[in-house]
Structure 1
Amino acid sequence: MSAHRGSEDTAAKPEVDSQFQQLETATSAEDADFKRREVRVVAKLDLFLCPILIALQLISFLDRGNIGFAATQGMITDLGLVGTQLNTAVSLFYPLYILSEFPAALIAKRVGFNRVIPAAAACWGLCCLGNGFAKNFGELVACRMLMGMFEGFLMPSLTLMLANWYKRDEIGLRISYLFITTAISSAVSGLIAYAILFMDGTAGYPGWRWLYIIEGCVTVAVAFICYFIIPSSYATAYFLNEDDRAVMRKRAELTESYSGGNGHYTRAEFMMAIKDVKTWLHTAIQVMCLTVLYGFSVFLPVILRFGFNFSIEQSQYLSIPVFVWGSIVYVVCGYLSDRFSRRFLACVVCAPLGMAGYAILLGGNQLSVGVKYFACFLIGTCAWMMGGANIAWLSTNTAPDGKRAASLGLAFAVGNLGGIISGQIYPQTMAPSYTLGHAWSLGAVCISFCLWWVLRHLYHSRETGKQGMREGTLPEPVEFSDRATSYKYQH
């Protein structure tokens, strides 16, 4: 009987192996088929969703940043702005902007992205339109503050919407589209401002009022369109068929499986971010970076007009090449830093050029206008790159997801204090030298440059500590995070 059973087992083994191979082959074929279908679905998401997000991000930065162009086209005189009132109007955009980001993150998904995003866009578009009819400083400030409150809903909503549609390893590239758009928006705003300048006097309105009126109307129109084209979920998305929705269901299951089934971050992960010194170093740098970015992008037309003594027309169109150059640098350096995973170099290579640019502008009246205009290109080399590279470096060196979300949230929220600061460092009373603004910005770039070296040393020290953990000389953390030996920092 034993021999008989042994012969049965021997006969059955090839059959079992054959069944296993068939199952393995079927599974591999199924996975390959799913991957092909998934690539098609992601391409549809990029085609139908990303243009909407890019358009919204573009018009939001156009609406908040056009005050610099309006100031050069006569808004200061028409509204009777004196002293630092222009700077105050710039700064007061940000307090409610910062405060509205947190509640926006809480309600966006619950209420629905297809409702929150269009509603916020329509509201800030109406406020932008209201700027065109402002008669004094108080009305201008009221419109700016309300604009900030409603625009504060956009970035958290867009980021969460991306996380709702894309997998975690797909989000980084799509978020980078939003940062690239902020750079391009400055160039576009200069072109629009120059074009609208020719409407000066139409219907009895000066050009700067038409700038607000037209951009506000466009924003409201885009918001109206977004209400119909932003889908509430993949189950009702008009651009997905049944097969695509099946793929999206599978993707959602994989995402929920990775995050523990409920997608919620833990208090422990939040505390990891709070207690990690690198979170605060990156956040401090972000304040410096956004001070430079907002100060330069908003006040460059003002500097060209009242600092370099260019005409109104020249201050509009001469700002465009500087902003275009900054956009190109951001795109190229951002691509290279992603391609080679070299975050530190992307930060520190551009910063010295910005230092040189501000140092030239601080050189005074003895320098020619051409030299000072060239300095603006040097500043543009670092202005957009600094903030985006700093956030990218923090994001790629933080884990798990809850800690990353908390770290980035702090960096974004606290970093926007740079917007408040930037509005105060270029008072009209300091024209034409604008010494305070140039000196403050130079200091911000220098501080960022030094803190990046501190961060580099910190990351290298932690990697050395991880080697000790691998060798058993140091204890390994109980909970997984970027401090674990399996996680490698990018330098």
Structure 2
Amino acid sequence: MGKEEKTTVEVSDAVDLEKVSSNIESGEKSASNKFVYSPEEKKLVRKINFATVPFICAILFIQFIDKSTLNFSAVLGLYEDTRITGTEFSWLGSIFYVGYLAFQVIPNQYFLQRLPISKYLGSILVVWGACLACMAEANNFAQLAGLRFLLGFWEASTYPSIFLLISTIYRRSEQVVWFGTMFICNSVATSFGGLIGFGMGHMDGLHGLSAWQWCMLIWGVITSALGFVYFFLLPDRAKSRWYKLTIEEEKIVDDRTRDNTVVQNKVIKREHIFEALREPRFYCYITISFLLNLQNGCVTIFSSQIIKSMGFTNLESILLNIPKGFSTILLLVMSVTLSRRFNENGYVGALMSIVSFFGALFLTVIPTGGAMLVGIFLSATSPPYTLLQTMISNNVTGYTKKIFYTGGNLVAYCIGNFVGPLMMVETQAPRYTGGMIGYMVADVLAAALFVYVRRSLAAENRRRQKLKEGGQVPPSPENREAVDLTDVEDLHFDYRP
């Protein structure tokens, strides 16, 4: 456990903010080993949450709905209207992530460091909404594939931007809650998307459009409209004008910046990238991301068809995505609660990977019928992925390095989601045994890598503690919160395994 986890700061009216910062820096402990917020900081956090969280939730809800419209469209007439095959449908699921990857490799990382997040996300929302709406006019595989590529291309901005925003404005101990909230929003989108999809199923034939076309058109227009709101109103800095900070609150924000060690910097530092490329943990993180998202790519695109194969009707298979979403929310709440309760990320990530393993196992061995829904409900990989992103955010400092780590994670995310649907071979329907076995192996390997990374971080903390005790670590610079140091350069930095 890092010092920040064990720090207690008791603040009264008689204790000034400088003393608060001093207490945090020195790692003061109490019997509870728990950080205690001052009344002033509690008020500040409420202001930050009120101004920021609705934006985080809305964009994650809408991006998951937009990405998943293909899932609902599969049972709303898409096959009949466009004459695509099951194999082509798998490719439509995968090609989204080709576009996602194309934008992720260079453009996204460049623009993230150079542009304000509000202007960046707002502009892109308008364009990706237009791409989704245009899918309503597609009438063959080639047109659908081209638009799915563009949809993935523009949506690639979402996760990195929100990851970076959370890392910038929240303390490290707070971040797991908001990363968990991100994926809870996805699950809420799954549930409400199923309900809305059921309603849109009754719009079939209205004004000459099929139900799946209405799905694409309505969500596309909503997404583009949302872009204008984000462009002008999204708070994208720790001291955003939308927070209306007092002078006293600005000092608290400085203290929070020292804790999360994120110093926004428009200069791209190559040495940060080279440092990341030399670290085994970087390759472990991206491998975990790839392994987990093999199964995610399957469940996101094929859940309605898998549920239909259990004997349910088209509209029933859409409605049953509602309990699927709520089961994922429960798993996410459990993972976040365990992480907060035990100050533990690595072992909890391993545990949730094993839960995903059992989901794929049950889909393979349970006899065909409603009981197979248990497998669908446990197959979510967003809980362990939440812990993965938390470990990256908590343990990587240096602005360029953090963006590079997040970018690497998202590249692996894309490749995993690209390969995952292709493992669902049409000739193996409805069980897709080969794909399910592959997902189970991936989940076990991900769990093992979580444990390895966790132990390596703990070992590095012990090494640094010995150096400190031996007087081999120079004092922290006075302007530490303004110096863009990496976690390797800053020996006062404690990892959160």
TM-score tier after normalising by the smaller chain length: 0.7 to 0.9
Residues 399-414 of structure 1 aligned to structure 2 (within 5 Å): 399=397, 403-414=401-412
Residue 340 of structure 1: aligned partner:
342
Structure 2 unmatched runs, 5+: 1-11, 22-37, 476-484
Residue 328 of structure 2: aligned partner:
326
Please state if 1:203 is matched with 2:207. yes
The partner residue of 1:361 within 360, 363, 388 is 363
Give the distance between the partners of 2:395 and 2:171, measured in 1 at CA. Answer: 19
Report if aligned partners of 1:118, 1:224 keep a CA contact under 8 Å in 2.
yes
The Cα offsets for residues 340-363 of structure 1, whole Å up to 9 and x where unpaired, read as: 212233123233333233223223
Give the distance between the partners of 2:235 and 2:492, measured in 1 at CA. Answer: 39
Residue 25 of structure 2: aligned partner:
none
Give the distance between the partners of 2:217 and 2:264, measured in 1 at CA. Answer: 47
Please state if 1:293 is matched with 2:291. no
Flag the 1:30–1:317 CA change in 2: closer, same or farther, 3 A.
Answer: closer
Give the distance between the partners of 1:477 and 1:256, measured in 2 at CA. Answer: 18
Residue 78 of structure 1: aligned partner:
81
TM-score (norm 2): 0.80
Report if aligned partners of 2:184, 2:328 keep a CA contact under 8 Å in 1.
no
Q: State which drifts further: 75-84 or 420-429.
A: 420-429
Give the distance between the partners of 2:285 and 2:240, measured in 1 at CA. Answer: 40
Give the distance between the partners of 1:212 and 1:293, measured in 2 at CA. Answer: 22
Q: Give the deviation of 1:288 after TM superposition.
A: 0.7
Query: Residue 66 of structure 1: SS of its match in structure 2?
Result: helix
Query: Residue 376 of structure 1: SS of its match in structure 2?
Result: helix
Query: Residue 84 of structure 1: SS of its match in structure 2?
Result: helix
The Cα offsets for residues 28-85 of structure 1, whole Å up to 9 and x where unpaired, read as: 4465999755543442221122201210111011101121111122211211112511
Give the distance between the partners of 2:164 and 2:349, measured in 1 at CA. Answer: 27
Report if aligned partners of 1:88, 1:424 keep a CA contact under 8 Å in 2.
yes
Percent same amino acid at aligned positions? Answer: 21
Flag the 1:323–1:234 CA change in 2: closer, same or farther, 3 A.
Answer: closer
TM-score (norm 1): 0.81
The Cα offsets for residues 192-216 of structure 1, whole Å up to 9 and x where unpaired, read as: 2122112122222221111111111
Flag the 1:395–1:482 CA change in 2: closer, same or farther, 3 A.
Answer: farther
Flag the 1:110–1:484 CA change in 2: closer, same or farther, 3 A.
Answer: closer
Give the counterpart letter for 2:328 in structure 1: G
Q: Give the deviation of 1:448 after TM superposition.
A: 1.2
Q: Give the deviation of 1:433 after TM superposition.
A: 2.0
Flag the 1:357–1:266 CA change in 2: closer, same or farther, 3 A.
Answer: same
Residues 410-449 of structure 1 aligned to structure 2 (within 5 Å): 410-449=408-447
Q: State which drifts further: 342-351 or 153-162.
A: 153-162
Q: Give the deviation of 1:176 after TM superposition.
A: 4.0
Residues 60-459 of structure 1 aligned to structure 2 (within 5 Å): 60-101=63-104, 102-108=106-112, 110-162=114-166, 173-230=177-234, 237=241, 239-241=242-244, 244=246, 247-248=249-250, 251=253, 255=257, 264=267, 266-305=269-308, 307-363=309-365, 367-380=367-380, 383-399=381-397, 403-459=401-457
Q: Give the deviation of 1:384 after TM superposition.
A: 1.8
Flag the 1:405–1:153 CA change in 2: closer, same or farther, 3 A.
Answer: closer
Query: Residue 77 of structure 2: SS of its match in structure 1?
Result: helix
Report if aligned partners of 1:129, 1:213 keep a CA contact under 8 Å in 2.
yes
Flag the 1:259–1:203 CA change in 2: closer, same or farther, 3 A.
Answer: closer
Give the counterpart letter for 1:424 in structure 2: L
Query: Residue 84 of structure 2: SS of its match in structure 1?
Result: coil
Give the distance between the partners of 1:43 and 1:467, measured in 2 at CA. Answer: 35
Q: State which drifts further: 37-46 or 84-93.
A: 37-46
Flag the 1:316–1:236 CA change in 2: closer, same or farther, 3 A.
Answer: closer
Report if aligned partners of 1:270, 1:406 keep a CA contact under 8 Å in 2.
yes
Give the counterpart letter for 1:375 in structure 2: G
Flag the 1:320–1:199 CA change in 2: closer, same or farther, 3 A.
Answer: same
Give the counterpart letter for 2:327 in structure 1: W
Structure of higher CA gyration radius: 1
